[in-house]
Structure 1
Protein backbone atom coordinates (compact mmCIF):
# COMPACT_ATOMS: atom_id res chain seq x y z
CA UNK A 1 0.00 0.00 0.00
CA UNK A 2 1.29 3.45 -0.93
CA UNK A 3 2.28 5.90 1.80
CA UNK A 4 0.13 8.90 0.87
CA UNK A 5 0.97 10.99 3.94
CA UNK A 6 4.14 10.84 6.01
CA UNK A 7 5.43 12.80 8.98
CA UNK A 8 9.09 12.54 9.95
CA UNK A 9 10.29 13.91 13.28
CA UNK A 10 7.44 16.43 13.51
CA UNK A 11 7.55 18.76 16.48
CA UNK A 12 5.30 21.64 17.48
CA UNK A 13 5.25 23.90 20.52
CA UNK A 14 3.36 26.94 21.73
CA UNK A 15 3.98 29.56 24.36
CA UNK A 16 1.36 29.68 27.08
CA UNK A 17 1.62 32.31 29.83
CA UNK A 18 5.30 32.72 29.14
CA UNK A 19 6.02 28.98 29.22
CA UNK A 20 6.80 26.69 26.32
CA UNK A 21 4.37 23.82 25.83
CA UNK A 22 5.52 20.96 23.60
CA UNK A 23 2.43 19.72 21.77
CA UNK A 24 4.24 17.26 19.48
CA UNK A 25 7.68 15.78 20.10
CA UNK A 26 9.45 14.14 17.16
CA UNK A 27 6.42 12.32 15.79
CA UNK A 28 6.81 9.83 12.92
CA UNK A 29 3.65 8.67 11.16
CA UNK A 30 2.82 7.00 7.87
CA UNK A 31 -0.74 6.96 6.52
CA UNK A 32 -1.25 4.48 3.70
CA UNK A 33 -3.76 4.21 0.92
CA UNK A 34 -6.33 1.49 1.41
CA UNK A 35 -6.41 1.92 5.19
CA UNK A 36 -8.50 3.76 7.75
CA UNK A 37 -6.08 5.14 10.33
CA UNK A 38 -7.28 6.53 13.67
CA UNK A 39 -5.46 8.99 15.94
CA UNK A 40 -6.68 8.65 19.52
CA UNK A 41 -5.74 10.20 22.83
CA UNK A 42 -6.96 12.51 25.56
CA UNK A 43 -7.77 16.17 24.91
CA UNK A 44 -4.54 18.10 24.62
CA UNK A 45 -2.54 15.07 23.47
CA UNK A 46 -1.74 16.69 20.11
CA UNK A 47 -4.12 14.76 17.83
CA UNK A 48 -5.74 17.72 16.12
CA UNK A 49 -2.44 19.59 15.88
CA UNK A 50 -0.91 16.59 14.10
CA UNK A 51 -3.91 16.34 11.78
CA UNK A 52 -3.58 20.04 10.90
CA UNK A 53 0.14 19.63 10.22
CA UNK A 54 -0.46 16.60 7.99
CA UNK A 55 -3.24 18.55 6.27
CA UNK A 56 -0.83 21.45 5.56
CA UNK A 57 -2.97 23.82 7.60
CA UNK A 58 -0.29 24.40 10.28
CA UNK A 59 3.47 24.30 9.71
CA UNK A 60 5.59 22.15 12.04
CA UNK A 61 8.38 23.74 14.06
CA UNK A 62 10.62 20.81 13.19
CA UNK A 63 10.50 17.75 11.01
CA UNK A 64 8.99 17.25 7.56
CA UNK A 65 5.70 16.31 5.96
CA UNK A 66 5.49 14.42 2.67
CA UNK A 67 2.34 14.24 0.54
CA UNK A 68 1.99 11.69 -2.26
CA UNK A 69 -0.56 10.84 -4.92
CA UNK A 70 -1.87 7.48 -6.08
CA UNK A 71 0.06 7.71 -9.37
CA UNK A 72 3.26 6.29 -7.88
CA UNK A 73 5.27 9.49 -8.33
CA UNK A 74 7.71 10.55 -5.64
CA UNK A 75 6.01 12.24 -2.66
CA UNK A 76 6.27 16.00 -2.33
CA UNK A 77 8.42 17.29 0.52
CA UNK A 78 6.35 20.24 1.75
CA UNK A 79 9.17 21.92 3.70
CA UNK A 80 9.81 25.38 2.36
CA UNK A 81 6.89 25.47 -0.05
CA UNK A 82 5.11 28.79 -0.54
CA UNK A 83 1.61 29.38 0.81
CA UNK A 84 0.29 29.16 -2.75
CA UNK A 85 1.98 25.81 -3.38
CA UNK A 86 0.66 24.43 -0.10
CA UNK A 87 -2.84 25.60 -1.00
CA UNK A 88 -2.58 23.85 -4.36
CA UNK A 89 -1.55 20.60 -2.64
CA UNK A 90 -4.43 20.88 -0.18
CA UNK A 91 -6.95 21.39 -2.98
CA UNK A 92 -5.68 18.57 -5.17
CA UNK A 93 -4.57 15.90 -2.72
CA UNK A 94 -6.41 16.39 0.57
CA UNK A 95 -10.06 16.41 1.59
CA UNK A 96 -11.19 17.66 5.00
CA UNK A 97 -14.17 16.77 7.21
CA UNK A 98 -14.74 18.52 10.56
CA UNK A 99 -16.97 17.83 13.55
CA UNK A 100 -18.94 21.06 13.09
CA UNK A 101 -19.53 20.40 9.34
CA UNK A 102 -18.39 23.95 8.34
CA UNK A 103 -21.15 24.33 5.75
CA UNK A 104 -22.12 27.82 4.58
CA UNK A 105 -25.66 28.33 5.88
CA UNK A 106 -26.81 30.54 3.00
CA UNK A 107 -25.94 27.97 0.33
CA UNK A 108 -27.67 24.76 -0.70
CA UNK A 109 -26.09 21.36 -0.18
CA UNK A 110 -25.15 21.32 -3.87
CA UNK A 111 -23.51 24.72 -3.73
CA UNK A 112 -21.57 23.81 -0.58
CA UNK A 113 -20.15 20.76 -2.33
CA UNK A 114 -19.25 22.68 -5.50
CA UNK A 115 -17.47 25.60 -3.80
CA UNK A 116 -13.95 24.06 -3.52
CA UNK A 117 -14.01 22.63 -7.06
CA UNK A 118 -11.04 23.80 -9.12
CA UNK A 119 -12.46 23.20 -12.61
CA UNK A 120 -15.35 24.60 -14.63
CA UNK A 121 -18.58 25.26 -12.78
CA UNK A 122 -20.77 23.03 -14.96
CA UNK A 123 -18.38 20.13 -14.48
CA UNK A 124 -18.27 20.82 -10.76
CA UNK A 125 -22.07 20.80 -10.43
CA UNK A 126 -22.31 17.50 -12.27
CA UNK A 127 -19.65 15.96 -10.04
CA UNK A 128 -21.31 17.40 -6.91
CA UNK A 129 -24.63 15.80 -7.84
CA UNK A 130 -22.87 12.46 -8.36
CA UNK A 131 -21.20 12.75 -4.96
CA UNK A 132 -24.44 13.73 -3.21
CA UNK A 133 -26.06 10.66 -4.75
CA UNK A 134 -23.16 8.55 -3.52
CA UNK A 135 -23.69 9.71 0.08
CA UNK A 136 -27.44 9.14 -0.21
CA UNK A 137 -28.52 12.77 -0.57
CA UNK A 138 -29.46 13.13 -4.24
CA UNK A 139 -32.93 14.35 -3.29
CA UNK A 140 -31.57 16.89 -0.80
CA UNK A 141 -29.25 18.77 -3.16
CA UNK A 142 -31.30 21.99 -3.07
CA UNK A 143 -31.81 22.04 0.70
CA UNK A 144 -30.06 24.50 3.00
CA UNK A 145 -27.95 23.11 5.86
CA UNK A 146 -30.63 24.20 8.35
CA UNK A 147 -33.04 21.87 6.57
CA UNK A 148 -30.78 18.84 7.00
CA UNK A 149 -30.12 16.62 10.00
CA UNK A 150 -26.66 16.48 11.56
CA UNK A 151 -25.90 13.21 9.82
CA UNK A 152 -27.00 14.63 6.48
CA UNK A 153 -24.88 17.75 6.97
CA UNK A 154 -21.84 15.62 7.69
CA UNK A 155 -22.43 13.60 4.54
CA UNK A 156 -22.62 16.87 2.57
CA UNK A 157 -19.29 17.80 4.16
CA UNK A 158 -17.83 14.46 3.07
CA UNK A 159 -19.09 14.98 -0.49
CA UNK A 160 -17.44 18.42 -0.45
CA UNK A 161 -14.17 16.83 0.73
CA UNK A 162 -14.25 14.53 -2.32
CA UNK A 163 -15.07 17.15 -4.96
CA UNK A 164 -11.47 17.33 -6.26
CA UNK A 165 -10.98 13.54 -5.99
CA UNK A 166 -8.21 13.68 -3.35
CA UNK A 167 -6.15 10.56 -2.56
CA UNK A 168 -6.33 11.31 1.19
CA UNK A 169 -9.24 12.32 3.43
CA UNK A 170 -8.62 13.78 6.90
CA UNK A 171 -11.43 14.01 9.44
CA UNK A 172 -11.40 15.65 12.88
CA UNK A 173 -13.98 14.04 15.21
CA UNK A 174 -16.34 13.45 12.24
CA UNK A 175 -18.85 11.42 14.30
CA UNK A 176 -18.75 13.64 17.38
CA UNK A 177 -22.19 15.20 16.78
CA UNK A 178 -23.91 12.15 15.27
CA UNK A 179 -26.29 9.48 16.54
CA UNK A 180 -25.33 5.82 16.18
CA UNK A 181 -27.17 5.24 12.91
CA UNK A 182 -25.70 8.34 11.25
CA UNK A 183 -22.28 7.40 12.60
CA UNK A 184 -22.49 3.96 11.04
CA UNK A 185 -23.51 5.36 7.66
CA UNK A 186 -20.59 7.80 7.70
CA UNK A 187 -18.12 5.13 8.75
CA UNK A 188 -19.39 2.91 5.94
CA UNK A 189 -18.60 5.69 3.50
CA UNK A 190 -15.10 6.09 4.94
CA UNK A 191 -14.60 2.34 4.52
CA UNK A 192 -15.62 2.59 0.86
CA UNK A 193 -13.05 5.33 0.32
CA UNK A 194 -10.30 3.20 1.84
CA UNK A 195 -11.40 0.23 -0.26
CA UNK A 196 -10.89 2.44 -3.34
CA UNK A 197 -7.26 2.95 -2.32
CA UNK A 198 -7.56 6.31 -0.57
CA UNK A 199 -5.92 7.05 2.77
CA UNK A 200 -8.44 7.93 5.49
CA UNK A 201 -7.15 9.55 8.68
CA UNK A 202 -9.60 10.05 11.57
CA UNK A 203 -9.02 11.93 14.82
CA UNK A 204 -11.43 10.59 17.40
CA UNK A 205 -12.37 10.16 21.06
CA UNK A 206 -14.98 7.60 20.04
CA UNK A 207 -14.10 3.98 20.90
CA UNK A 208 -16.40 2.73 18.12
CA UNK A 209 -14.39 4.64 15.53
CA UNK A 210 -11.03 3.37 16.77
CA UNK A 211 -12.49 -0.16 16.78
CA UNK A 212 -13.54 0.36 13.17
CA UNK A 213 -10.11 1.56 12.01
CA UNK A 214 -7.46 -0.67 10.44
CA UNK A 215 -4.60 1.01 12.30
CA UNK A 216 -4.76 2.94 15.58
CA UNK A 217 -2.09 5.35 16.86
CA UNK A 218 -2.34 6.65 20.41
CA UNK A 219 -0.86 10.03 21.29
CA UNK A 220 0.04 10.97 24.84
CA UNK A 221 1.83 14.21 25.71
CA UNK A 222 2.81 14.75 22.11
CA UNK A 223 4.30 11.32 21.40
CA UNK A 224 3.03 7.91 20.35
CA UNK A 225 2.75 5.49 23.25
CA UNK A 226 0.99 2.64 21.51
CA UNK A 227 0.47 1.50 17.96
CA UNK A 228 -2.15 -1.18 17.41
CA UNK A 229 -1.38 -3.79 14.80
CA UNK A 230 -3.33 -3.83 11.57
CA UNK A 231 -6.40 -6.03 11.89
CA UNK A 232 -6.31 -9.33 9.96
CA UNK A 233 -7.96 -9.04 6.57
CA UNK A 234 -10.31 -11.92 7.38
CA UNK A 235 -11.73 -10.30 10.52
CA UNK A 236 -14.79 -8.06 10.24
CA UNK A 237 -15.28 -5.87 13.27
CA UNK A 238 -18.88 -5.34 14.44
CA UNK A 239 -18.80 -1.60 13.75
CA UNK A 240 -17.50 -2.17 10.22
CA UNK A 241 -20.25 -4.71 9.58
CA UNK A 242 -22.87 -2.28 10.86
CA UNK A 243 -21.39 0.53 8.80
CA UNK A 244 -21.46 -1.49 5.60
CA UNK A 245 -25.05 -2.59 6.23
CA UNK A 246 -26.26 0.95 6.88
CA UNK A 247 -24.48 2.30 3.83
CA UNK A 248 -26.05 -0.37 1.65
CA UNK A 249 -29.48 0.51 3.07
CA UNK A 250 -28.92 4.21 2.32
CA UNK A 251 -27.89 3.38 -1.26
CA UNK A 252 -30.92 1.19 -1.78
CA UNK A 253 -33.21 3.97 -0.66
Structure 2
Protein backbone atom coordinates (compact mmCIF):
# COMPACT_ATOMS: atom_id res chain seq x y z
CA UNK A 1 0.00 0.00 0.00
CA UNK A 2 0.99 3.64 -0.36
CA UNK A 3 2.76 5.65 2.30
CA UNK A 4 0.32 7.37 4.65
CA UNK A 5 3.16 9.19 6.40
CA UNK A 6 6.67 9.88 5.20
CA UNK A 7 9.81 11.86 5.89
CA UNK A 8 12.06 13.14 3.12
CA UNK A 9 15.58 14.30 3.95
CA UNK A 10 14.66 15.13 7.54
CA UNK A 11 17.36 16.64 9.73
CA UNK A 12 17.36 17.94 13.30
CA UNK A 13 20.17 19.41 15.39
CA UNK A 14 20.63 21.03 18.78
CA UNK A 15 23.33 23.25 20.19
CA UNK A 16 25.01 21.96 23.33
CA UNK A 17 27.63 24.14 25.03
CA UNK A 18 28.16 26.03 21.83
CA UNK A 19 28.60 22.89 19.73
CA UNK A 20 26.19 21.59 17.10
CA UNK A 21 24.85 18.10 17.78
CA UNK A 22 23.09 16.35 14.91
CA UNK A 23 20.13 14.32 16.18
CA UNK A 24 18.81 13.30 12.75
CA UNK A 25 20.68 13.40 9.45
CA UNK A 26 18.93 13.24 6.07
CA UNK A 27 16.34 10.65 7.10
CA UNK A 28 13.95 9.19 4.51
CA UNK A 29 11.21 7.02 5.97
CA UNK A 30 7.86 5.82 4.63
CA UNK A 31 5.13 4.38 6.86
CA UNK A 32 2.70 2.39 4.71
CA UNK A 33 -0.90 1.51 5.20
CA UNK A 34 -1.53 -2.13 6.02
CA UNK A 35 1.81 -2.53 7.79
CA UNK A 36 3.25 -2.47 11.28
CA UNK A 37 6.60 -0.66 11.06
CA UNK A 38 9.14 -0.78 13.88
CA UNK A 39 11.76 1.91 14.45
CA UNK A 40 14.66 0.60 16.53
CA UNK A 41 18.01 1.86 17.77
CA UNK A 42 19.90 2.46 20.98
CA UNK A 43 19.06 5.31 23.37
CA UNK A 44 20.08 8.62 21.85
CA UNK A 45 19.86 7.39 18.27
CA UNK A 46 17.07 9.85 17.44
CA UNK A 47 14.06 7.53 17.47
CA UNK A 48 11.79 9.63 19.64
CA UNK A 49 12.86 12.85 17.94
CA UNK A 50 11.93 11.35 14.57
CA UNK A 51 8.60 10.15 15.96
CA UNK A 52 7.83 13.64 17.24
CA UNK A 53 8.70 15.13 13.86
CA UNK A 54 6.53 12.59 12.02
CA UNK A 55 3.77 13.30 14.52
CA UNK A 56 3.97 17.05 13.77
CA UNK A 57 4.89 17.78 17.37
CA UNK A 58 8.37 19.10 16.51
CA UNK A 59 9.40 20.78 13.24
CA UNK A 60 12.44 19.47 11.37
CA UNK A 61 15.37 21.78 10.71
CA UNK A 62 15.57 20.44 7.17
CA UNK A 63 13.57 18.15 4.94
CA UNK A 64 9.83 17.62 4.71
CA UNK A 65 7.08 15.54 6.29
CA UNK A 66 4.08 14.40 4.28
CA UNK A 67 0.81 13.20 5.78
CA UNK A 68 -0.59 11.21 2.85
CA UNK A 69 -0.06 13.70 0.00
CA UNK A 70 -0.07 16.81 2.19
CA UNK A 71 3.29 18.55 2.52
CA UNK A 72 3.28 19.91 6.06
CA UNK A 73 6.16 22.32 5.45
CA UNK A 74 5.12 25.84 6.32
CA UNK A 75 1.64 24.95 7.53
CA UNK A 76 0.23 27.17 10.26
CA UNK A 77 -0.08 25.82 13.78
CA UNK A 78 -3.84 25.45 13.42
CA UNK A 79 -3.51 23.36 10.27
CA UNK A 80 -0.90 21.15 11.92
CA UNK A 81 -3.18 20.68 14.93
CA UNK A 82 -6.03 19.66 12.63
CA UNK A 83 -3.83 17.05 10.97
CA UNK A 84 -2.75 15.69 14.36
CA UNK A 85 -6.36 15.42 15.54
CA UNK A 86 -7.80 13.83 12.42
CA UNK A 87 -4.97 11.89 10.74
CA UNK A 88 -2.68 10.77 13.55
CA UNK A 89 -3.26 8.77 16.72
CA UNK A 90 -0.66 8.78 19.50
CA UNK A 91 0.18 6.14 22.12
CA UNK A 92 2.85 6.91 24.73
CA UNK A 93 4.83 4.67 27.06
CA UNK A 94 3.55 6.53 30.13
CA UNK A 95 -0.08 6.36 28.91
CA UNK A 96 -0.70 10.11 29.51
CA UNK A 97 -4.19 9.53 30.88
CA UNK A 98 -5.86 12.25 32.94
CA UNK A 99 -6.01 10.80 36.48
CA UNK A 100 -9.20 12.60 37.52
CA UNK A 101 -11.24 11.20 34.62
CA UNK A 102 -12.66 7.75 33.97
CA UNK A 103 -11.40 5.53 31.18
CA UNK A 104 -14.45 6.48 29.12
CA UNK A 105 -13.91 10.19 29.63
CA UNK A 106 -10.22 9.90 28.72
CA UNK A 107 -11.18 8.28 25.43
CA UNK A 108 -13.93 10.80 24.63
CA UNK A 109 -11.96 13.99 25.34
CA UNK A 110 -10.08 14.26 22.00
CA UNK A 111 -13.23 13.54 19.95
CA UNK A 112 -13.71 16.11 17.20
CA UNK A 113 -17.28 15.22 16.23
CA UNK A 114 -20.50 16.42 17.77
CA UNK A 115 -23.23 15.19 20.06
CA UNK A 116 -23.49 11.82 21.75
CA UNK A 117 -21.65 10.01 18.96
CA UNK A 118 -18.36 10.51 20.79
CA UNK A 119 -19.45 8.56 23.86
CA UNK A 120 -20.96 5.77 21.76
CA UNK A 121 -17.78 5.53 19.72
CA UNK A 122 -15.63 5.58 22.87
CA UNK A 123 -17.67 2.75 24.40
CA UNK A 124 -17.27 0.73 21.21
CA UNK A 125 -13.51 1.29 21.26
CA UNK A 126 -13.24 0.27 24.91
CA UNK A 127 -15.18 -2.86 24.04
CA UNK A 128 -12.79 -3.53 21.17
CA UNK A 129 -9.76 -3.36 23.46
CA UNK A 130 -11.50 -5.57 26.03
CA UNK A 131 -12.31 -2.90 28.60
CA UNK A 132 -16.05 -2.34 28.26
CA UNK A 133 -16.58 -3.28 31.90
CA UNK A 134 -13.86 -0.87 33.05
CA UNK A 135 -15.28 2.22 31.33
CA UNK A 136 -16.01 4.06 34.57
CA UNK A 137 -12.80 3.19 36.39
CA UNK A 138 -10.15 5.82 37.03
CA UNK A 139 -6.64 5.21 35.68
CA UNK A 140 -5.43 4.48 39.22
CA UNK A 141 -7.90 1.58 39.33
CA UNK A 142 -6.48 -0.01 36.16
CA UNK A 143 -3.39 -2.11 35.57
CA UNK A 144 -0.61 -0.86 33.32
CA UNK A 145 -1.81 -3.03 30.46
CA UNK A 146 -5.36 -1.76 30.87
CA UNK A 147 -4.21 1.85 30.95
CA UNK A 148 -2.27 1.33 27.72
CA UNK A 149 -5.34 -0.16 26.05
CA UNK A 150 -7.34 2.89 27.16
CA UNK A 151 -4.61 5.03 25.60
CA UNK A 152 -4.92 3.07 22.35
CA UNK A 153 -8.70 3.49 22.36
CA UNK A 154 -8.18 7.22 22.85
CA UNK A 155 -5.75 7.28 19.92
CA UNK A 156 -8.47 5.77 17.71
CA UNK A 157 -11.36 8.03 18.72
CA UNK A 158 -11.13 10.14 15.55
CA UNK A 159 -10.48 7.11 13.32
CA UNK A 160 -6.96 8.15 12.23
CA UNK A 161 -5.29 6.31 9.33
CA UNK A 162 -1.92 6.47 11.14
CA UNK A 163 -1.08 5.30 14.67
CA UNK A 164 2.25 6.33 16.26
CA UNK A 165 3.41 4.60 19.42
CA UNK A 166 6.49 5.44 21.50
CA UNK A 167 7.71 2.40 23.49
CA UNK A 168 4.09 1.23 23.92
CA UNK A 169 5.06 -2.01 25.67
CA UNK A 170 7.81 -0.53 27.83
CA UNK A 171 5.84 -0.77 31.08
CA UNK A 172 3.85 -3.93 30.34
CA UNK A 173 4.10 -7.57 31.34
CA UNK A 174 4.35 -10.26 28.66
CA UNK A 175 0.63 -11.03 28.53
CA UNK A 176 -0.36 -7.37 28.22
CA UNK A 177 2.36 -6.88 25.61
CA UNK A 178 0.98 -9.72 23.49
CA UNK A 179 -2.55 -8.32 23.74
CA UNK A 180 -1.42 -4.87 22.66
CA UNK A 181 0.64 -6.20 19.75
CA UNK A 182 -2.39 -8.17 18.60
CA UNK A 183 -4.43 -4.96 18.56
CA UNK A 184 -1.76 -3.15 16.54
CA UNK A 185 -1.82 -6.02 14.04
CA UNK A 186 -5.60 -5.72 13.72
CA UNK A 187 -5.24 -2.01 12.96
CA UNK A 188 -2.71 -2.70 10.22
CA UNK A 189 -4.93 -5.41 8.76
CA UNK A 190 -7.66 -2.77 8.47
CA UNK A 191 -5.33 -0.71 6.27
CA UNK A 192 -3.93 1.68 8.86
CA UNK A 193 -0.25 2.54 9.10
CA UNK A 194 1.25 1.67 12.50
CA UNK A 195 4.68 2.94 13.57
CA UNK A 196 6.17 1.58 16.79
CA UNK A 197 9.32 3.00 18.37
CA UNK A 198 10.81 0.28 20.52
CA UNK A 199 13.79 -1.29 22.27
CA UNK A 200 11.87 -4.55 22.62
CA UNK A 201 12.91 -7.39 20.26
CA UNK A 202 9.46 -8.98 20.59
CA UNK A 203 7.89 -5.83 19.19
CA UNK A 204 10.26 -5.52 16.25
CA UNK A 205 9.86 -9.23 15.48
CA UNK A 206 6.09 -8.70 15.22
CA UNK A 207 6.52 -5.89 12.67
CA UNK A 208 6.29 -6.18 8.90
CA UNK A 209 9.14 -3.75 8.37
CA UNK A 210 12.02 -2.69 10.61
CA UNK A 211 14.05 0.53 10.34
CA UNK A 212 17.17 1.08 12.44
CA UNK A 213 18.56 4.46 13.45
CA UNK A 214 22.19 4.88 14.44
CA UNK A 215 23.64 8.27 15.38
CA UNK A 216 20.72 9.98 13.69
CA UNK A 217 21.00 8.16 10.36
CA UNK A 218 18.77 5.44 8.97
CA UNK A 219 21.24 2.60 8.50
CA UNK A 220 19.06 -0.41 7.79
CA UNK A 221 15.68 -1.29 6.40
CA UNK A 222 14.00 -4.61 5.83
CA UNK A 223 11.36 -7.06 6.92
CA UNK A 224 11.36 -8.34 10.48
CA UNK A 225 12.24 -11.77 9.16
Name the residue aligned to 2:42: 42
TM-score normalized by the length of structure 2: 0.99
**Aligned pairs, number:** 225
Question: Displacement of 1:77 after TM fit?
Answer: 0.3
Q: Deviations over 1:85-110 (max 9, x none)?
A: 00000000000000000000000000
Name the residue aligned to 1:114: 108
Name the residue aligned to 2:153: 159
Which runs of 5 or more structure 2 residues have no equivalent in the other structure?
Answer: none
Name the residue aligned to 1:212: 206
8 Å contact 2:204–2:224 — kept in the other structure?
Answer: no
114-123 vs 165-174, which moves further: 114-123
- RMSD over aligned CA atoms reads 0.8
Q: Deviations over 1:140-197 (max 9, x none)?
A: 0000000000000000000000000000000000000000000000000000000000
Q: Distance in 2 between matches of 1:115 and 1:121?
A: 13
Name the residue aligned to 2:29: 29
Q: Distance in 2 between matches of 1:209 and 1:101?
A: 18
Question: Displacement of 1:21 after TM fit?
Answer: 0.6
SS in 1 for 2:116: helix
Name the residue aligned to 2:18: 18
Name the residue aligned to 2:89: 95
Q: Distance in 2 between matches of 1:149 and 1:36?
A: 25
Q: Which has the higher contact order (CA 8 A, sep 6+)?
A: 2
Question: Displacement of 1:229 after TM fit?
Answer: 3.0
User: Following TM superposition, where does structure 1 have runs of at least 4 consecutive aligned residues deviating by more than 4 angstroms?
Assistant: none
TM-score normalized by the length of structure 1: 0.88
For the pair 1:59 / 2:59, whether they are aligned, the reply is yes
Name the residue aligned to 1:221: 215
Q: Distance in 2 between matches of 1:18 and 1:230?
A: 40
Q: Distance in 1 between matches of 2:56 and 2:26?
A: 17
